[in-house]
């Protein structure tokens, strides 16, 4: 069962390589991540101890390291890599990952392009 409790991470910016165009594979560009992590927060709510929750600082490090180590064509794949890394964290029931390309390579005036996925831990 997935917990109703959520840790929210908003606006984590990482420079990475992701894009279907050849120049996007050789020129890093900025991406923004929003991540929701479903986990039971009741124990931490009562104890006030970091050891009783999922450390959002550690999550940010995991997300950034995953994105920095990627060189992929699709944001869908980048989002999946981040979701897999977060789901490997102990006590995480599910995750939603939004990835936004902050400078999408289109001729129109487009602020961002992105994807959002939701994955559950079935282990």
Closest Cα partner for 69 from 61, 9, 45? Answer: 61
- CATH T-level fold of 6-120: GTP Cyclohydrolase I, domain 2 (3.30.1130)
- Tokens standing for residue 19: 């894009």
Across the range 58-71, mean pLDDT stands at 97
> Residue 3's pLDDT band (boundaries 50, 70, 90)?
confident
> Residue 122's pLDDT band (boundaries 50, 70, 90)?
confident
Distance CA 47, CA 108 (A): 51
> What pTM does this model have?
0.94
For the chain, domain boundaries: 6-120
């Amino acid at each position: 069962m997935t917990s109703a409790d959520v840790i929210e991470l908003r606006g984590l910016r990482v420079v990475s390589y992701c894009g279907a165009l050849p120049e996007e594979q050789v020129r890093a560009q900025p991406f923004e991540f929003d991540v929701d992590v479903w986990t039971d927060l009741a124990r931490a709510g009562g104890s006030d101890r970091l050891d009783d929750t999922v450390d959002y600082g550690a999550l940010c490090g995991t997300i950034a390291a995953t994105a920095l180590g990627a060189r992929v064509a699709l944001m869908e794949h980048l989002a999946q890599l981040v979701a897999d890394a977060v789901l490997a964290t102990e006590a995480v029931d599910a995750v939603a990952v939004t990835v936004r390309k902050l400078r999408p390579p289109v001729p129109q005036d487009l602020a961002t392009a992105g994807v959002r996925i939701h994955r559950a831990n079935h282990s």
